[in-house]
Structure 1
Amino acid sequence: MNHDVDVVVVGAGFAGLTVARELGWMGAQVVVLEGRDRIGGRTWTDTRMGEPLEMGGGWIHWMQGHVWSEVTRYKLPVAETPWPDTAHWLVGGTRRSGSAAELLERMNDGMRRSIEDCMEVFKRPYEPTAGNGWRDLDRLSVTDRLAELDLDDEAYALCDAMWSQNFNAPAATGALTQALRWGAVSNGDWQLLLDICSHWRFRDGTVSLANAIRADVSGDVELGVHVARIDERPDGVVVTTADGREIAARACVVTVPIGVLGSIEFTSGLPQPARQVAADGQSSQGFKLWVRARGADQPFIAMAPSDEPLALIQWEHAFGDGGEFTAFSFGTDARKFPVTDLETVNQYVGRLVPGIEVTDFASHDWVGDPYARQTWAMLRPNQLEGVQALATMPGRVTFAGADYARGWCSFIDGAIESAMRAARTLRERVL
C-alpha cells in the first residue's frame, strides 16, 4: 500500500490533539480529521450570556498528573470555583436547608462506605482489569451498593444525588465499578474526589490548553470532515470520509466517544464485548446547564435525587453590580427533562433553590450532538471489559480518549493519558 500519511487521527478533542502532537514529535506524518467546526471535542469554551462558559468538561486537579503536566508545560494559569456557604437539598420532595458543611456531613457516611473497598478491588487503578476482583461487582449498579448500606432516607437521597450528578445519569444506571475506579484514583477519599471534580479550572478556559496543544501539532487538522469507514488491512489502514475521500495510512487512532462508534463502519470488526457496549451506549445521558439569576445573597449549593430535573446547582460567581450571579447545574436525563425555555429552567431551579429568578440560561444538547451522543462517559454494569477491550486492541487501529482511559476515565486527564499510550503503542507496532 502507498501511504498518504503515517497516521490518521479521528477526532480533535484532547486525545486526538495530544496523540497527533506526540506522533509528530516522534517524526510521524499525521492528519487529524474532525467532524465539528472547532477543536476540543466535549470541552468547549463558548461565549454566551456575556462571558466565557465551559459548555462541556472543565475542571482539573494536580492529582491528575497527565493534565497537570500540560498545565506546567504551557504555563497555563488556573482559577478556583469557590465552595459555597449555604446548602439546600431535597428529601422526598421536601426541601431542607443548612450550611454546606452540614450537607457534606449528612452524606459522609454513605459516600464513604459506598466506595470503601475501592482500593482493594482496584489495587492498581491504571490496570483496571488486572485480577478478577472486579468481575462480580461489575454486574452491580451504584444503587445496588447504596441499598446494602442501610441508610436513612436523607442520607440515601443525598448519596443518590451525588452519584447521579457524578454519572450525569440516574445512579441506578451506573456501574458500581465505575464509582470504585473513581474512588481508587482518589485514594479512597470521596471528599478528595469531590474536590478533584469541581474545584480547579483553567483561568482562560479549556480552549487555552486545546489551542496550546494544537500549536504543537505539526500535521494538518481538518475541520468539518466526517469519517464514515475505517478499513484495516495487513499493510495499512484506509480511512474513508462521508464525501468518499480515501486516505491511506500506516495506522489510525480513533478518539470518538462510545456513543459515536456506531456511526463508523469498522471493516475489521470490533471485539464482541466492545460491540455490545457500542450498541447499548454508556450511562451518561444528562445535561450541563448554566444560569444567570438573582435573589441569592451568598454562594450556595443545592442537590436532589435523580428523579428530579436537576441533581445539582451551584453558585459560581457574581455577575456585574446588579446582584446577579452565574451558576452551573447538571441534570440526569436530557430527554425526560429538556432544557427548552426560560420558564422551564425557572421551574427546574425553583424546586431546589428558594427565592431566585433565572434571567438567562445556556446549554448544549450533547446527547443530540452527532459527534458526542452523550456527555462524559460513565459505564453501565457489565461494560468495563468491553471498553478495556477497545483500549487494548491489537493491530493498526487503536483507540484513545477519555472514554477508554485506564486511570481518570471520563476526564481531560484520561483523554491525555490514553493518547500518550496510543502514540507509544503505534510507534512500537508500525512506525
Structure 2
Amino acid sequence: MSSKEEAEDLVDVIIIGAGFAGVTVARELSQRGKRVVILEARDRIGGRTLTENTDFDCAEPLELGGAWVHWLQPHVWSELTRYGLDLNVCDDVQRVMWFAGNQLHSGRPEEFEALIGPSMDIFVRDALSLFPIPDRPINVITNALREADQLSIKDKIEQMHDTPDVVKELLDGFWSINFNCPSNQGAYTQAMRWIARAGGSWQFALQSCGQYTIKKGTIGLLKCMLDDSIPHTTVHLNTIVTNVNQTGKYASVRLSNGKELHAKYVVVTVPLNVLNRITFSPPLNDRKQQAASTGQASCGIKLFIHVRGVPSESFCAYASSDYAINYVQTERCSSLNDKITSDTSILLAFGPDATRINVTDRTAVAKELQRWLPDVEVLQVVCYDWFHDLFSGETWPMLRPGQLTACLSALQEPEKRIRLAGSDYASFYAGSIDGAIESGLRAARTILNELESCVPL
C-alpha cells in the first residue's frame, strides 16, 4: 500500500458485523478518536437481535431474536443505566403443564418445582466448585473441569441413577429449552456456567433469563450505543465480506463485489457457525478452525403464535427434546397483549431443532400446541429462522461437550491484527446480549492498548 493509498483508504479498525459486539467495539474506539468502519451483511443492524413490528396488533414490537436482560448481567445492565432505558417486567406464571411418561400433567408452579427440584438440585450441585469465578471459566482448568466438560446434558442426566425416568424426561426438556438444541448436543459445563453465574441457584438462573425486556426493544439500546460512536464510525449495510488478509503491513478486507478495504485491525463478530464463510490469510489457528468446523450446538426455533382458545391463566408448558415444540408460555410481557382481543392471546414457544417443523405451516404448529391445548386455534405465527440464516447459522450460542476447555481460550486469543468478538466468544454470559457486549469491550481494549502504545506487531 502506497503512502497515498494509506492516507485515503486506511482506517484504524474494520468491524465485520453490526450486532451488539460490533457496535460496542465501534463506540469504545470512536470515543477515543479512532476511525472505524462497520461492514454488515444484512440490510439492518442488530445481528441476532431483531425488534420487529408485526400485524399481531400488539402494543409493542416483538423480539424475534435475543430479548431478555437481567441485573445479574453486568455489562448490559450498565448500558441500560447509561442510557436511562426503561424495562418491561414479565408477569408470573400461574399454571404449569408438562408431559412425563406420555401423560399430560398440570399444576401450580410450586407443585412443578417440588417435582423436579430435588433432582435439579443434584444436577447443579457442582456448579460453583467447577466455576468458582464464573466470569473467568477457564482461568484454571482442573482435571474435574476437563472431565465434566466431556459430558453432554443427556450424559449427566443418565448418570443420575436414582432419579425416576419421568423426572429425567423433565430435566431433558428443561435443559434442551435453555440450550435451544437436543440435550445430547449441549455441554454439561455450559449449563453449570449458567448456574454458577446465579450463585448456584437454578431457580435464580431461570428467573434471570426471562424476567425483563427493554421497553424500546433491543434495537433501542443498540441505536443509543451506535449514536455514541458518531462521527468516527461509518456503517455499510448489505456488505458481505469474503476474505480477511493480514499478510502485509496492514489488514485488508475483501468484499463480495471485489472491493478491498484496509485497516490497522479487523474485528470479526460473525457467529461461530458461519466463521468459515470468511477466508482468512494466513488461516486462523488450528483450534479456532476446529471450533468453527464443529460449530456450537443451538439449532432450534423461537416463535410467537397468535391464538384463540387458551386458558385465561398465565401458563407455561414443558416437554422433552423429542417434541418439535417443547416449550410454550403465555407471552408474559403484559404490554404486548394490551391490544389483543379478550378471546385471543400471544404465546411464545421454542423448539430444539429447526428442521423438525415448518413454522410457516399453521396446521403443523397447531398440531404441536394441541398436545397441551386441544382446543387451541392458531391464527398466525411469526418466527425468524436463525438456524438457516446464512449470516447466523445458530440461535443463541451454546457450546458442545469438550469445547470449553479445548477451544474457548483459542477463540479469545488475538491473531496479530484480527480479533473475534461476539456472544459465542464471551467468558461470562456467553449466549446473551451481555456476552456480546463483554467480548466487544475486551476486543476494543486490546486494540486501544496496541494503537496507543505504538508497539509494532
Q: TM-score by structure 1 length?
A: 0.97
Pairs within 5 Å for 1:369-388 = 369-384=389-404, 385-388=406-409
Counterpart AA for 2:21:
A
Corresponding residue for residue 137 of structure 2: 128
Aligned pair 1:227/2:241, yes or no? yes
Residue among 32, 47, 52 paired with 2:53: 47
Q: TM-score by structure 2 length?
A: 0.92
The answer to whether the 8 Å contact 2:37/2:234 transfers is: yes
Corresponding residue for residue 68 of structure 2: 59
The answer to whether the 8 Å contact 2:421/2:443 transfers is: yes
Q: Distance in 1 between matches of 2:122 and 2:179?
A: 18
- Deviation, 1:80, is 1.4
Paired residue secondary structure (1:408): coil
Further displaced range: 269-278 or 235-244: 269-278
Further displaced range: 317-326 or 3-12: 317-326
Corresponding residue for residue 313 of structure 2: 298
1:28-52 CA distance string (max 9 Å, x none): 1000000011111100011112331
Counterpart AA for 2:264:
R
Further displaced range: 317-326 or 186-195: 317-326
Further displaced range: 306-315 or 352-361: 352-361
1:124-181 CA distance string (max 9 Å, x none): 2222112222212111101111112231122211111110001000111101111111
Corresponding residue for residue 411 of structure 1: 432
Corresponding residue for residue 282 of structure 2: 268
Unaligned runs of 5+ in 1: none
- Deviation, 1:322, is 3.0
Aligned pair 1:95/2:104, yes or no? yes
Residue among 279, 287, 299 paired with 2:301: 287
Further displaced range: 121-130 or 13-22: 121-130
- Deviation, 1:361, is 1.0
Distance of aligned partners of 1:50 and 1:387 in 2 relative to their CA distance in 1, 3 Å threshold: farther
Corresponding residue for residue 267 of structure 2: 253
Corresponding residue for residue 156 of structure 1: 168
Counterpart AA for 2:122:
R
Corresponding residue for residue 15 of structure 2: 9
Q: Distance in 2 between matches of 1:104 and 1:222?
A: 49
Corresponding residue for residue 258 of structure 2: 244
Counterpart AA for 1:117:
D
The answer to whether the 8 Å contact 1:160/1:305 transfers is: yes
Counterpart AA for 2:286:
Q
Corresponding residue for residue 149 of structure 2: 138
- Deviation, 1:426, is 0.5
Paired residue secondary structure (1:410): coil
1:293-352 CA distance string (max 9 Å, x none): 122221110000000011211101445333211111100000122313111110111113
Residue among 23, 26, 30 paired with 2:32: 26
- Deviation, 1:234, is 5.4
The answer to whether the 8 Å contact 1:302/1:353 transfers is: no
Q: Distance in 1 between matches of 2:118 and 2:285?
A: 40
Greater share of strand residues, 1 or 2?
Answer: 1
1:222-253 CA distance string (max 9 Å, x none): 11000100111353210111111111100011
Q: Distance in 2 between matches of 1:257 and 1:388?
A: 16
Runs of 4 or more, structure 1, over 4 Å off, are none
Further displaced range: 299-308 or 310-319: 310-319
Aligned pair 1:338/2:338, yes or no? no
Corresponding residue for residue 73 of structure 1: 82
Q: Distance in 2 between matches of 1:200 and 1:222?
A: 31
Paired residue secondary structure (2:191): helix
The answer to whether the 8 Å contact 1:304/1:352 transfers is: no
Q: Distance in 2 between matches of 1:228 and 1:113?
A: 47
Counterpart AA for 1:340:
T
The answer to whether the 8 Å contact 2:360/2:381 transfers is: no
- Deviation, 1:393, is 2.6
The answer to whether the 8 Å contact 1:396/1:430 transfers is: no
- Deviation, 1:289, is 0.8
Further displaced range: 187-196 or 95-104: 95-104
Corresponding residue for residue 353 of structure 1: 373
- Deviation, 1:93, is 2.2
Q: Give percent identity, aligned residues only.
A: 39
Paired residue secondary structure (1:352): coil
Corresponding residue for residue 115 of structure 1: 124
Of the two, which has the highest radius of gyration?
2
Counterpart AA for 1:109:
P
Paired residue secondary structure (1:325): strand
Residue among 181, 193, 196 paired with 1:169: 181
Corresponding residue for residue 364 of structure 1: 384
Q: Distance in 1 between matches of 2:438 and 2:243?
A: 26
The answer to whether the 8 Å contact 1:303/1:352 transfers is: no
Corresponding residue for residue 315 of structure 1: 330
Q: Distance in 2 between matches of 1:354 and 1:85?
A: 19
The answer to whether the 8 Å contact 2:272/2:424 transfers is: yes
Paired residue secondary structure (1:390): helix
Further displaced range: 329-338 or 1-10: 1-10
Counterpart AA for 2:50:
W
Corresponding residue for residue 218 of structure 2: 206
Corresponding residue for residue 389 of structure 1: 410
- Deviation, 1:273, is 2.0
- Deviation, 1:104, is 2.2
Q: Distance in 2 between matches of 1:188 and 1:44?
A: 31
Unaligned runs of 5+ in 2: 453-457
Q: Distance in 1 between matches of 2:291 and 2:57?
A: 39
The answer to whether the 8 Å contact 1:100/1:301 transfers is: no
1:329-378 CA distance string (max 9 Å, x none): 10000012231311111011111334322211100111111110110110
Counterpart AA for 1:141:
S
